[in-house]
Structure 1
Amino acid sequence: MNFKIATALFASFFKTLGYLFLFMVFGLFLDSTYMSAIFPQTQHLATFVMLIGFAILYYRSASRLREQMIYAVIIGYIGEHLFSIGLGMYTYRLGNVPHYVPPGHAIVLITTMYFCKDAVVKTYRKLLEKIFTIFILVYATLFLIFAGDVFGFVMSLLVIFLLRNKPRERLFYLSMYIAVAFLEIIGTNYQCWFWPETAWNTIPFLKSANPPSGISLFYFLLDLGSLWLYKQRHKIAWARMKSIRKLTEN
């Protein structure tokens, strides 16, 4: 990779996922234990900032992405209560599901889409897929070695395995893995939430780090669910788009 290509890819990364990462660092800090020691109602403050970010992204997006953002919030709300409150997969600082979390899911989802749709990223998608795959394997292996993260390592391998025959979706889900990994590291270090020492705190042979490395596997359900709801609402348009796609591929 020459310097010109690297600079172009970095610019594409910064104006999408880079802004997302900065927003995560700032937004989650508002619900951190550092802030809660100063201002007890930190979750309300974090929710206010998250809703502002959501509104800006929503009104700058096309109608299709807006609709998927709404679906992502709905699915995120249900999923968070199922996995956190119902199954005890992870626990938020106050034992609840903060109101900023569901719209946060939508922001991660749509920002990752914007990154993958960037012209420069699409041009060098094969190169990025290789780089991201290597990063994920190294990242998950380091967590396995130094944090005993069997749970995250297994999920990371599942991500790579499931994407082996998914060339159209591969870059998006690899990018989502990296975005979620960053999100989890920031959130757990701020102590906004924590993960138990084993998967669901009930499977002893699946030791888990805090956070587990491959947890983006569950975020994929968010995208699949949002896309499924969109298809159900727009069956004719979706069928037409698939027909056009087949013609262009042939």
Structure 2
Amino acid sequence: MLRHFPSSDIACVHKQRDYIIAAITFFCVAFALVNDADATLAEQKVLGGCAWIFLLCFLHGESKEIRVQVGIAICFATVGEHFASPFMGGYTYRFHNVPAYVPPGHGMVYLTAVALARSGLFLKYAREIATFVVVACGLWSLWGVSGLGQGDAVGAMLFCVFLIYLFKGKSPLVYLAAFFITTWLEIIGTAVGTWKWAAIDPVLGWTQGNPPSGVSAWYCWVDSVAMGGSAPVMQGLKNVRQWFKSVKIGKNAYQGASDD
């Protein structure tokens, strides 16, 4: 099952930038969520502005492809947030809104998953990390359906989806990294009351943990859309630039002919 993971003897380079991105994001997530627990709407907007600044600084040193992926992740995740929270009520933020820091936060979370996935640590210990994640998340899911808590059938289902991403998906290290950052933010966010998951999922009618044990599967979906959509988006942007260039050339040629 781990045959598509890098072997432990793979040559890897530890780039400081990757670890800095991850460390800052983990800290910023905790800082923002804890402070938002009793923040006003105005303070939420300030947190959102700070998140955009951090994200733009991170993107300054990234390739065009990664920037496009982050943009897609933000757009897709933000639409999903508005559908799943205010519209469907799968989980609810304190002000029944989508806080201003959430869109740039999704960008930072995605970039962190990418940075960790390409880091020397994850490349060298991919199989050990995968084993830890599967065991830890598996035990969490079993606890959720054991009857000891409020019940978490949705979490168990999402854990199965996460396993499919992990062992069949094209970017398993990104999904592994997503587990750590998303589990971190979900546990903190729900613990301090920044948001709360509905005890019964409004779509399936199943019990749901706060947060669901396999919640990282939702973020894996965002990651896969971002990675899969970057190529067509970049090609589309290239086509648009070429069209504008051809229009400009044609306009200049027409003006030159008119002057003659």
2:25–2:109 CA contact under 8 A, matched in 1: yes
Partner secondary structure for residue 161 of structure 1: helix
Is 1:132–1:175's contact at 8 Å kept on the other side of the alignment? no
Q: Deviations over 1:143-181 (max 9, x none)?
A: 444422221122112211343334x42222122123211
For residue 139 of structure 1, report the CA deviation from its aligned partner.
2.6
SS in structure 1 opposite 2:168?
coil
Match of 1:74 in 2: 75
How far apart are the structure 2 equivalents of 1:136 and 1:13? 25
Partner of 2:198: 196
Check the 8 A contact 1:28/1:46 in 2, yes or no: no
Deviation of the 1:188 alpha carbon: 1.2
State which drifts further: 17-26 or 180-189: 17-26
Say whether 1:24 aligns with 2:26: no
CA distance in 2, matches of 1:48, 1:16: 18
Q: Residue 107 of structure 2 aligns to which amino acid in structure 1? A: A
Describe the shift of the 1:197–1:13 C-alpha distance in structure 2 as closer, same or farther (beyond 3 A).
farther
Q: 1:142–1:21: structure 2 CA closer, same or farther, 3 Å change rule?
A: farther
What is the SS of the residue equivalent to 1:53? helix
Instruction: Map 1:1-250 onto structure 2 (within 5 A).
Output: 15-33=20-38, 36=39, 41-145=42-146, 146-147=148-149, 148-166=151-169, 168-200=170-202, 203-204=204-205, 206-234=206-234
1:188 and 1:120 map into 2 onto residues whose CA distance is 29
Segment drifting more, 183-192 vs 226-235: 226-235
Please identify the structure whose Cα radius of gyration is greater.
2
Task: Give the letter aligned to residue 123 of structure 1.
Answer: K
- 1:56 is matched by which residue type in structure 2? C
Matches of 2:41 and 2:100, distance apart in 1: 15
| SS, match of residue 207 in structure 1 | coil
**Alignment-mate amino acid for residue 149 of structure 1:** D
Checking the alignment, whether the CA contact within 8 Å between 1:136 and 1:178 is kept in structure 2 is: no
> For 2:173, what is the secondary structure of its paired residue?
helix
Partners of 1:55 and 1:162 lie apart in 2 by: 29
Q: Which has the larger displacement, 96-105 or 43-52? A: 43-52
State the identity %. Answer: 24
Secondary structure of the residue aligned to 1:194 is: strand
CA pair 142-15 structure 1, distance change in 2 beyond 3 A: farther
Report the Cα offset of residue 16 of structure 1: 4.7
Q: Kindly state the Cα deviation for residue 14 of structure 1 after the two structures are TM-superposed.
A: 5.8
TM-score by length of 2: 0.76
Q: Which amino acid aligns with 2:153?
A: V
Go from structure 1 to structure 2 and tell me whether the alpha carbon gap of 1:40 and 1:176 turns closer, same or farther (over 3 Å shift): closer
5+ residue gaps, structure 1, are 1-7, 237-250
- 2-side partners of 1:118 and 1:105: how far apart? 20
* Letter aligned with residue 19 of structure 1: I
Root-mean-square deviation over aligned CA pairs: 2.6
1:140–1:152 Cα contact (<8 Å) kept:
yes
Paired residues, number: 221
Contact 2:162 2:220 in 1 (8 A): no
Distance 1:112 1:59 in 2: 17
Call closer, same or farther: CA 1:178–1:140 in 2, change over 3 Å: farther
- Using structure 1 for the length normalisation, give the TM-score: 0.78
2-side partners of 1:74 and 1:191: how far apart? Answer: 25
